[in-house]
Structure 1
Amino acid sequence: MSKHGKRIENAREAVERTKLYPLDEAVKLVKTGAKAKFDETVELALNLGVDPKHADQMVRGVVNLPNGTGRTLRVAVFARGAKADEAKEAGADIVGAEDLVAAVQGGTIDFDRCIATPDLMPLVGRLGKVLGPRGLMPNPKVGTVTMDVASAVAASKGGAVEFRVEKAGIVQGSVGKTSFGEEKLAENIVAFVDAVVKAKPAGAKGTYLQRVALSSTMGPGVKVDPATIAVAQH
């Protein structure tokens, strides 16, 4: 077995698979279990008591992580005129209208987040089949269809993370890097969980926040006791 494999195996052995760890302990385990030579991303997975096939049980939103994500997002903005200038001044990486639509249709998607002014949505709508599957389609519910492009760009650059429930009732998101301090990671996790709890749909019945798991890119998954995450259970 390679050294790389041994390191990962040892990290897995340090985690009891069935145990629910308090949040602070889980964060410690994820940090110590990150053995890769790069700064691993910390991922959070929440199992929710919802069935996304029903429209009244859809969960989606955006959360501003207090300590950022640890990565610099490339932001594209669909805007014209003064709004295009505003986006550039706010630090958008790519700004355009028809030219940007043509580039995306041609297969050039050199961005991680996409923002549009409402007047350009009929144009951007043509890109649904390209941007939709990648989770990049601008949406007013998460603040990416807006006239306030400067604020949207700043939020995206500063640690705004979009979340959306998947088929199995799971919400996943990045909450930082393993180089972050334990407190900063814990603060980001609490903020993410809180946002998902606040997005609880009217149609959700029974226990909403069912399971919580934390992992790093290459490290083992650690189950977190939901009761130790101090958020207001709605």
Structure 2
Amino acid sequence: MSKPGKRFRAASEAVDNHKLYGVEEAVKLLKGGAKAKFDETVEISMNLGVDPRHADQMVRGVCQLPHGSGRTLRVGVFAKGEKAEEAKKAGAEVVGADDLVAQVQKGTIEFDRCIATPDMMPLVGRLGKVLGPRGLMPNPKVGTVTTDVTAAVKAAKGGAVEFRVEKAGVIHAGVGKASFTEEALVDNIRAFADAVIKAKPSGAKGPFVKRIAVTSTMGPGVKIEPAGFGGA
């Protein structure tokens, strides 16, 4: 196993692994340790008190980050006729119907976010085994199956982040870039955490938010006090 680099070790020395930080202090430490030559992505991980194997404990939703994600997303839209033209005008990079379904079935996926109009879902449903594992399957619960394709495309371009709890009860997502101001990152982190808490399922028992941590691509994780987010 390779040893951590000098930059990572220096950043880690500034973080107390046994301490739970406030959001503002955590962001300050995170930005101080993000010294890579590229603009590192800031990620949040939330360990939840749920067992997603039970349908009534599934956590899924979407968050519109107030300052965007810092990513340039390619949006694909399954639509035809007027809705296809609407999607193109809204800025979608890939738009199609049967032709796009055939393209995806061959393994060519040239988009990072997928939207579909309701009438296209019988066709798009065939792509579940291809789009599902990549987290790209359109879903009405997160606003990606809709007749308002203009709003959906603009939301995706503007920083909408989808989330879904994994088997271990963990949710993680990118919430900005290290180049963002501390205030912008704090706003994005709080907005994302609030969105997850609002998606708390009826079957969740006990503390919902158990642990929260933020990190940059090349930096150490910084633990955040979950009590401020409805945790314990």
Same fold (TM over 0.5): yes
CA–CA distance in 1 between the matches of 2:132 and 2:18? Answer: 36
Counterpart amino acid of residue 35 in structure 2:
K
The offset of 1:227, in angstroms, is 2.8
Which residue number in structure 1 is paired with residue 35 of structure 2? 35
Is 2:135 the counterpart of 1:135?
Answer: yes
Where in structure 1 do 4 or more consecutive aligned residues deviate above 4 Å? none
CA–CA distance in 2 between the matches of 1:30 and 1:130? Answer: 35
The offset of 1:228, in angstroms, is 3.9
Which residue number in structure 1 is paired with residue 182 of structure 2? 182
Counterpart amino acid of residue 215 in structure 1:
T
Which residue number in structure 2 is paired with residue 76 of structure 1? 76
CA–CA distance in 2 between the matches of 1:20 and 1:169? Answer: 20
In the TM superposition, what whole-angstrom CA distance separates every residue of 1:169-223 from its partner, at most 9, and x where no partner exists? 1011110000000000000001000000000000000000111000001100000
Counterpart amino acid of residue 49 in structure 2:
G
- Local SS of the residue matching 1:213: strand
CA–CA distance in 2 between the matches of 1:59 and 1:200? Answer: 6
Quote the RMSD (CA, aligned, Å). Answer: 1.3
Counterpart amino acid of residue 219 in structure 2:
G
Structure 2 residue ranges without an equivalent (≥5): none
For residues 32-181 of structure 1, what are the structure 2 equivalents within 5 Å? 32-181=32-181
The offset of 1:9, in angstroms, is 1.1
| TM-score using structure 2 length | 0.96
Which residue number in structure 1 is paired with residue 209 of structure 2? 209
Is 2:18 the counterpart of 1:21?
Answer: no
| TM-score using structure 1 length | 0.95
In the TM superposition, what whole-angstrom CA distance separates every residue of 1:66-91 from its partner, at most 9, and x where no partner exists? 00001110000000000000000100
Aligned length: 229
Counterpart amino acid of residue 62 in structure 1:
V
